[in-house]
Chains A and B, each alone.
Chain A
Amino acid sequence: SYDLTQPPSVSVSPGQTANITCSGDRLENEYVCWYQQKPGQSPVLVIYQDDKRPSGIPERFSGSNSGNTATLTISETQPMDEADYYCQAWDSSILYVFGTGTRVTVL
């Protein structure tokens, strides 16, 4: 099976930058999406195809994917960004795989 590993938690001060990593074998060969999930809510897509933002997602969310690691960057983090974040990779062979999830705390 294909595994995607994320740090369990990331802490960031308001206004600072949070970087959330997602590691998987030759991940750069797959498309990566990122989802934000707040308690009791359904996930929300914040990044697709490695670095594209859906309409309505703030510009402070950005993504990259190189080598074995994809990264979600939240610039000028706001208290409303406090949530769980999941990476997800897919292609014709592995279909959907979710990362282990990262809880972002805005202190």
Chain B
Amino acid sequence: QVQLLQSGTEVKKPGASVKVSCKASGYSFPSYGVTWVRQAPGQGLEWVGWTAPYNGNTNTAEKLQGRVTMTTDTSTSTAYMELRTLRSDDTAVYFCARHGNGADYWGQGTLVTVTP
């Protein structure tokens, strides 16, 4: 069965960077894009960006451009999302999802807390 397993909770200081991993299994990793979505406490879903493992193409939400890097490692079927220069309003649960017909399978989420 399709599974996306994300790395664990992170606590970071403002200005630091965080790298979240998302290990896929149960499907051909290169054949589907990976979408990243975040959700601040008590708030709605916010798209972060998208990456295509098969060719490395990426697209990032305009408000995060310049601070986000999304990569994939097809040898380990793992996607990564790095967010730099963290601010308090980056505190959120970060989800990865397989992009098939929409975001059809989701990881369990990774809580990133930015606190002084």
B106 within 8 A of A: yes
> What residues of chain A lie closer than 8 Å to B35, measured between beta carbons?
96
Task: Give chain A's interface residues, CB within 8 Å of chain B.
Answer: 1, 33, 35, 37, 42-45, 48-49, 52, 54, 84, 86, 88, 95-101
- How far does the alpha carbon of A1 sit from the alpha carbon of B62 in the complex, in Å? 9
B107 within 8 A of A: yes
> What residues of chain A lie closer than 8 Å to B46, measured between beta carbons?
98
Contact present for B103 and A33 (CB under 8 Å): yes
- How far does the alpha carbon of A54 sit from the alpha carbon of B50 in the complex, in Å? 21
Contact present for A42 and B107 (CB under 8 Å): yes
* Interface size range on B against A: 20 to 34
Q: In the complex, what residue of chain A is closest to B93 when comparing beta carbons?
A: A42
Given contacts A45-B103, A95-B47, A99-B44, 9 further A-B contacts (CB under 8 A): A37-B45, A49-B102, A54-B101, A88-B45, A95-B50, A96-B35, A96-B47, A98-B47, A100-B44
- How far does the alpha carbon of A1 sit from the alpha carbon of B44 in the complex, in Å? 17
Contact present for A35 and B109 (CB under 8 Å): no
27 A-B residue pairs with CB within 8 Å? A1-B62, A33-B103, A42-B95, A42-B106, A42-B107, A43-B37, A43-B97, A43-B103, A43-B106, A44-B106, A45-B103, A48-B101, A48-B102, A49-B102, A54-B104, A86-B45, A88-B47, A95-B47, A95-B50, A95-B59, A95-B61, A96-B35, A96-B47, A97-B47, A98-B44, A98-B45, A99-B44
